[in-house]
Amino acid sequence: MLDNIPPKPGDKFFRPRRIKRFHLRRVLGIPAVFSAGYGNVGSSIYYALGIVAVVAMGATPIALGVAGILFVFTALTYAEGTATIPEAGGSASFARHAFGDTAGFIAGWALMLSYIVTISISAYTIPPYLGYFWEPFKTSPVIGTFTSVGIVFFLMSVNVIGIRETSFINVTATIVDILTQISLVVIGFITLFNPSVLFHRIIDTWPTPENLVIGIALATIAYTGIETMSQMAEETKKPEKSVPRALLAMIVAVLVIFAGISLISLSAMTPEELATVWNRDPIAGIAFHLPIETIKIVLRPLIAVLAGTILLIATNAGLIGISRLAFSQGTHKLVPPALSRVHRRFKTPYVSIILFSVIAMVILLPGFSGQSIFEDMGVLYAIGSLLAFMFAHASVIMLRIKRPDMPRPFKVGWNIHIKGRELPITAFIGLISSGGIWILLLFTEPYSRWVGLGWMVGGLFIYLIYRWSRLKKSVDEWEIKPEKK
């Protein structure tokens, strides 16, 4: 081949290769985004109450209340971040824009851990509620675990087919569930709530300071819905407006329902009962202790059905979130491109959906032997999610500093002015509190420390190998010289 012969116009060799890239479809409105988020946040009351009670005992309502305040700060951070950067990725996307690729990967990898655990723990708590209809669902570890694994497998198949097929179910179930939870709160306050009994049960079983903080950390298991809603930005119509509005609506709904149910639970049963007999199905425990038999007959089966439904939505929301996160990470070349591969027919990131569903099913396997994995899953979730929230808060602060003129359709108030920059106080409070709780968990919980840090170290190893291989490939292509005759 002669280098000095210019190519002729239209020569095939010199035509740039077109790479066909698939994009996720923008088909979701505010109700669909809200329902997907509430599927995780609202559903967590069906099991978070029991997890928190295991360590916080009488201070369970206090732990949930403090976590609720942190929830507000975190939701406001995500509302600004998602409105500013309306793309899939959540805190990983915020961190990538604010600090670079490595920070984006670390935040994303931590999120993947929390999503996987959310999928597992949501599926794990469905069978105990269905135990109202068939007792072995609650009492048999083998039957319960087999059912949980089957649920994850079913949702994996549904999500490979496409998100549109699940959105209507999410919206309908969420509306019914919110109405039922509100009804339970009203009925509970009328028939069960006793301030004197509640006060003594709180005081008599007050936990140690360490357990109180761990209880607050476990209560953050409700936060995943924030990330799920942010992950869906690329599939949402007008995400810069729709996602913040959905987040603000969820703040109101969640705080009201969480406050009511947490107070009623300790009026209905002792902290010891909540932490043992009813730890996996605490809302069923409230219905069981209702004093009016007629209401109990109606509510117990209704709660069993709705709890199973909303926890199914939560499991599905976790799958949606992690698959879209992997899609975003792969698109920006932070993880191997296979994870962002989109199905030609269904337009869904099917590789990531299948991979992380399998990991979630593996986490459930110790349940076959009757091992207690409930609390461990809760703490492990907190390790991943709190790290992601730290990155989200820090990223919003950094973007205010680095890019103050960046369009922000939604902007958090309560700002302090430093060197001409407006910095959100809520993000600072969220960053400091999340970081402090995260460090405490690492020091006090050996399971979460080794498994969580092992996950992060393993992820960083994969990231460095992948980035090195891409760099090496680029260098090799640069060094290739055309042959001379």
What is residue 304's predicted lDDT score, i.e. its pLDDT? 92
* Choice among 234-238, 322-326, 442-446, 463-467 with the minimum mean pLDDT: 234-238
Six-digit token pair at 335? 């993880």
**Token pair for residue 338?**
């296979």
Residue 451 clears pLDDT 90, i.e. is over it:
no
CA-to-CA distance for 258 and 255, rounded, in angstroms? Answer: 5
Residue 349 has what pLDDT?
Answer: 80
Q: CB neighbours (10 Å) of residue 164? A: 15
pLDDT at 200: 92
Residues 353-359: contacts with CB under 8 Å, at least 24 apart:
353/156, 353/159, 353/160, 353/319, 353/323, 354/156, 354/160, 355/326, 356/112, 356/115, 356/116, 356/119, 356/319, 356/322, 356/323, 356/326, 357/119, 357/152, 357/153, 357/155, 357/156, 357/319, 359/116
* pLDDT surpasses 50 at 395: yes
Distance CA 123, CA 361 (A): 9
Which range (105-114, 227-236, 283-292, 317-326) has the least confidence?
Answer: 227-236
Residue 430 has pLDDT above 90, yes or no: yes
Please state which of the ranges 87-96, 116-125, 218-227, 463-472 shows the lowest mean pLDDT.
218-227
Task: Say how far apart CA 149 and CA 120 lie, in whole Å.
Answer: 8
Lowest-confidence region among 22-26, 158-162, 185-189, 438-442: 22-26
Which residue would you say has higher pLDDT here, 113 or 448? 113
CA 288 to chain centre: 30
Question: With the CA atoms of 281, 173, 228 and 455 taken in that order, what torsion angle do they form, in degrees rounded to the nearest 10?
Answer: 30
415-418/421-424 β-pairing = antiparallel
- Given a cut of 70, is residue 479 above it in pLDDT? no
* Per-residue pLDDT tens over the stretch 334-372: 888 777 777 777 677 888 889 999 999 998 988 888 666
Whole-angstrom Cα distance, residue 217 to residue 437?
Answer: 6
pLDDT recorded at residue 2 = 42
Closest CA to 316 of 233, 393, 248, 224: 224
User: Is the pLDDT reported for residue 164 higher than 60?
Assistant: no
The predicted model gives 410-436 an average pLDDT of 89
* Percentage with pLDDT > 90 across the chain: 29
pLDDT at position 21, please?
Answer: 44
| pLDDT at 87 exceeding the cut of 90 | no
- Contact 427/397 with Cβ under 8 angstroms? yes
Q: What is the pLDDT of residue 4?
A: 47
Question: Nearest-CA neighbor of 355 among 393, 390, 329, 377?
Answer: 329
Give the phi and the psi of residue 416 in degrees, each rounded to 5.
-110, 150
Average pLDDT of every residue of the chain: 82
Residue 411 predicted with pLDDT over 70:
yes
Band (pLDDT 50/70/90 cuts) for residue 11 is very low
Identify the pLDDT of residue 40: 65
Q: What Å distances lie between residue 384 and 227, 355, 390, CA to CA? A: 12, 18, 10
pLDDT class of 98 with cuts at 50, 70, 90:
very high
Q: Quote the CA–CA distance of 157 and 138 in Å, as a whole number.
A: 26
Q: What is the pTM of this model?
A: 0.81
Distance between CA atoms of residues 95 and 332, nearest Å? 13
Residue 9 has pLDDT above 60, yes or no: no
Q: Do residues 123 and 311 make contact, with C-beta atoms less than 8 angstroms apart? A: yes
**Please, which pLDDT band fits residue 106 given cuts at 50, 70 and 90?**
very high
Reported as a pLDDT band with limits 50, 70 and 90, residue 125 is: very high
Residue 389 — pLDDT band, cuts 50, 70, 90?
very high
> Tell me: the pLDDT tens digits for 191-226?
888 899 999 999 999 999 889 988 988 888 766 667
pLDDT of residue 27: 47
DSSP 6: P
Task: Pick 24-405+417-468's CATH classification: 2.60.40.420, 1.20.1740.10, 1.25.60.10, 3.40.640.10.
Answer: 1.20.1740.10
Secondary structure class of 381 (helix, strand, coil): helix
Instruction: Output the DSSP codes for 83-122.
Output: HHS-STTTHHHHHHHHH-HHHHHHHHHHHHHHHHHHHHHH
Based on its alpha-carbon atoms, the radius of gyration of the chain, rounded to whole angstroms, reads 24
More confident residue, 14 or 92: 92
Spatial distance between the Cα atoms of 346 and 271, rounded to a whole number of angstroms: 48
Q: Is residue 482 scored above 60 in pLDDT?
A: no
Q: Give the span between the Cα atoms of 380 and 377, in whole angstroms.
A: 5
What integer pLDDT is reported at residue 17 of this predicted model? 41
Of 25, 91, 72, 95, which is closest to residue 247 (Cα–Cα)? 72
